[in-house]
Chain A
Amino acid sequence: MAIVSVLKGALRGQARSRRGAQGLAFLLLVIVALFLSVVSERFTSVANLSNLLIQMAPLLLVALGQTVVVLAGGLDVSVGAVVGLATAIVASALPPEIAVPLALLAAAAVGAVNGVLAGPLRLHPIVATLSTASIVTGIALTLRPTPGGNVPDFLIASANERILGLPLAVVWSAGGLALAWWILSRTRLGLHILSLGGSTPNARLNGIAVQRRLIAAYVLCAVFAAAGGLLLAGRISSGDAMAGLPLTVSSLAAVALGGTQLTGGIGGVLGTLTGSLLLAMLANGMNLMNVSPFLQSILNGVLLLIAISFTRRRQFGL
């Protein structure tokens, strides 16, 4: 019984910290990995594992951005739209040295709009980002009504190629992870973002420029999403305004699975890494086992339900 209660404590993140309940995702990760390595011998092959990491990279980048916003007490359902916009911009006729910065800048602008709507204009984050998601998808579709276009070679290379056996996508992932970690735990902005998620009114009392910090969080999120979009464009070698939309749901799933509380302030990038890995591993494993993609989405949903029923909160509703 003692073991059970210790386990429960770990799963629910009762440790006195703000890392959140990462235990469950980690446990599931281990179980799924063990299961897959027993069921399919191809799973543990180096080629497959590096494939898995490549597949995960765009999701991880988007989810890291989502983590920043969720920690600040917000929520961004426009990330998928921003991914689509980024792929549409880099697949346009513009030269890459203009298109890539432009994609990031456009994302930053979307993030700023999100931040202004959710911050100074006091819209609920779901409502604010839902409206920008619609607008951004509209713009991306105007730029690229059907999938296609030419993606710069270096993006295709960085999404698919390897250096010394190490997929470049992994370098992107590691870079994004390190950057997000550094921002959140080693900069004043990061501390301020966490304090916003803890209690916005109190952060204001402490002299934090609450609105500016919130806008910064949304901008960071959108830029991370755009980076994910660049990588995705490289992987599918085309621009597609709708390609990113599923990433909205899966980025939220990765964040929630990683133990980050959707009310803000509690959680972190390591949990998000675990969550993203878990989702990518499931997709990869089910592909190996030839499971219908429709069944995969059912399983993802069920998994998400199981994961959250372990995190007991005081609050009801959202």
Chain B
Amino acid sequence: MDLLEVTGLAKAYAGVMCLDDVSLRGRAGSVHAVTGENGAGKSTLMKIIGGVVRPDKGSIRLRGAEVHFASPLDALRGGVSTVFQEFSLIENLTVAESLFLGHEPSTWYGALDRGRMLRAARRVLDEVGLDLDPRRFIASLTVAEQQMVEIARGVSANADVFVFDEPTAALGAEDVVKLTRLIRDLQAAGRLIFYISHRLDEIFDLCDTVTVLKDGRLVDTRPVAGLDHDRLVAMMVGRNLEDYFPGAGTATSQPALRVTDLHRRNCSSPVSLAVNKGEIVGLAGLEGQGQREILRALAGAEPCAGVTMETFAADGGVRRHDPARGVAAQVADGIVFIPEDRKKEGLYLSLAVDENMALGLYQQRGLGAVARSHGARVTEMMRMLRIKATSAAQPVGKLSGGNQQKVMLGRWLISDARVLLIEEPTRGVDVGAKAEIYAILRQFVAQDGGAILVMSREMNELIGLCDRILVIRDGRIVAGFAAREASEESILHAAIADAPREPERRAS
């Protein structure tokens, strides 16, 4: 018997359909993947089921009875718990307060029962296998811990249907193991789990059924057992996995960037690395091992206690750079940084595409300089990067994730950057645009000897995109592979071997 049945759901935003006549059935005891390119409507579908968004048309039946959720809290009371992709945690609350926000235990006269809340929080954290003091503030947790609290919050509810919206995006390998175990437990208890993900491996490992959406419409729902990677990708995009990554092999043996003894604050071990001309080097590792900090320190976006950083021009001239002088100085030297969270840290969503791109040029001039429009260069760059926008004057906030990422790249390509430092080059980007972005990056290094240092949580992305992969553990480089010889297993092995913090085993 179907636990949840969704019929004919439709939702339009400002006149644009983003979900059209989608129907779906979920069994109790099933882990049901929902996948598709970004913008396919999977998040909207789950937001409707989770009560965040109300549908324009269609109905949801839970245990055979039609339901209308007015809010996530309402959905929770009705038996649907959602773990959001964007964090719904609030930094100034404690873990315990976060777990019960919106449905706090109260005393007989209506006040907050802090004692009961704390005890209940301890119990929930214990169930999830999370060793945290519930009185700690969210702001003091790592990203992975925050995501685990988010998951604990969702799981602690006594719900029948659980929705996980890309839960592993911020998790390291050990927490993924915990999450997997949690999902298995829920499944064994006869719950229905919707699992939204682009990550094919996870779908094959974890799920029994998969629903594919494309352009807001249902493609198909099938058992995972009858599918393989290529067939699933074909359902999503109608293209094969092979033409996903561009060819490598543009690397030369001349150095482009050399970093010697990077000392970061509060970190004893210095890091040295080099990137050759035409080369893309990837930083791999478990969550929170210092990859992100190394990249940001080189970009000047985070404090750096001392480093010798040199770049080599085409004619062999050496230039020294000091990241401690800040981002602006590094940008002026052609060393640019592309952050992971482009909406928050990268783009000016209310400004036009052309203005976002031209800022890279403007910022290298004085405040009193005349700002030329650079219309022709921007148009040329938009054409080259195949940015899909109604015009150069369209606000960036209206573009899809992939096109936004291209605008970010375009801003630095147009200002003749020499070295790109990229955090998660394709987060929240759909499969089609991913391939285009990979090609752009490869073309950048191939053309006139640029260099790219990239960090990604997705190991297959690093393997496909990079020439060389450096594995970071505990703030140090512990291994280096040529990408074509690397496998996910070998990287993971290097990333956790002799790891000081073995994932804790708990009897559950």
Contacts and interface: CB of A to CB of B under 8 A. Distances in A.
Given A16-B140, A18-B137, A203 B90 contact: yes
Interface size, B (range): 20 to 34
A125 interface: no
A202 B52 CA distance: 12
A192 B52 CA distance: 19
B92 A265 contact: yes
Contact of B87 (A187, A191, A202, A208): A202
Nearest to B100: A191
A199 interface: yes
A16 B140 CA distance: 7
B378 interface: no
A70 to B, nearest CB: 13
B359 to A, nearest CB: 17
Nearest to B50: A205
B71 interface: yes
A195 B90 CA distance: 6
A290 interface: no
Interface in A176-200: 182, 185-188, 190-192, 194-195, 197-199
A208 B102 contact: yes
Interface in A202-249: 202-203, 205-208
A202 B89 contact: yes
A79 B72 CA distance: 35
B91 A199 contact: yes
B88 A16 contact: no
Interface stretch (B105-113, B232-240, B346-354, B402-410): B105-113
A194 B92 contact: yes
A207 B102 contact: yes
Interface in A156-193: 182, 185-188, 190-192
Given A198-B93, A203-B90, A186 B111 contact: yes
A186 B112 contact: yes
Chain B residues touching A, majority SS: loop
Given A16-B137, A16-B139, A17-B137, A206 B91 contact: no
A190 B111 CA distance: 10
Contacts, number: 72
Given A207-B71, A207-B74, A208-B102, A265 B91 contact: yes
B101 interface: yes
B165 to A, nearest CB: 12
Contact of B90 (A186, A188, A190, A202): A202
Name the residue in A182, A186, A190 with the highest tally of chain B Cβ atoms < 10 Å from its Cβ.
A186
A188 B87 CA distance: 22
B80 to A, nearest CB: 12
B175 interface: no
Contacts of B101: 191-192, 195, 203, 206-208
A194 B104 CA distance: 14
A206 B104 contact: no
B91 to A, nearest CB: 5
Contacts of A199: 90-91
B117 to A, nearest CB: 10
Nearest to A183: B111
B112 A190 contact: yes
B88 A205 contact: yes
Contacts of A206: 72-73, 88, 90, 101-102
B76 interface: yes
Interface string B63-101: 000000001111010000000100111111100010001
Given A16-B137, A198-B91, A205-B84, 5 more contacts: A188-B104, A188-B112, A199-B90, A205-B88, A207-B74
15 contacts: A182-B111, A186-B111, A187-B110, A191-B101, A195-B90, A195-B101, A198-B90, A202-B88, A202-B90, A203-B90, A205-B52, A206-B101, A206-B102, A207-B73, A207-B102
Q: What 5 pairs across the A-B complex have the smallest Cβ distances?
A: A207-B73, A198-B90, A207-B102, A265-B92, A205-B88
